[in-house]
Amino acid sequence: VETIKKDKPQAIAHCANSAAAIEIPEAYFDMVRIGISLYGLYPSPQVKKLVPLKPVMSLQTSIAFIKEVPAGTPISYGRTFVTSRPS
């Protein structure tokens, strides 16, 4: 960050996400990027000991569609889960 600031003093640095904003003050620089903690959720189990957060919203829905797939079918965003049995 210091190297970039030498070349571009007007640059704004923000290197702290939710966990870093809670645990690592030296990562603040010009701003912090509070993400999941803004909603009252913990970014990691370690942070839970450091600051009390309370969820600020809830989500409710109704099931719109159920699809059966055979074993070995990749599903989810990025196809990261593969069914081990018919599901």
In order along its 87 residues, the chain shows pLDDT tens digits of 888 888 888 888 888 999 999 998 888 888 898 899 999 999 989 889 999 999 999 989 999 999 999 999 999 888 999 999 999
Indicate the pTM of the whole model: 0.56
Show the domain range for 36.
2-49
- Residue 78 has a pLDDT of 87
Please state the φ and ψ torsions of residue 42, each to the nearest 5 degrees.
-85, 135
38 assigned to some structural domain: yes
24 assigned to some structural domain: yes
7 assigned to some structural domain: yes
Report how many domains make up the chain: 1
45 assigned to some structural domain: yes
Q: 51-72 pLDDT, tens per residue?
A: 999 999 998 999 999 999 999 9
63 assigned to some structural domain: no
CA dist., res. 75 & res. 70, Å (int): 11
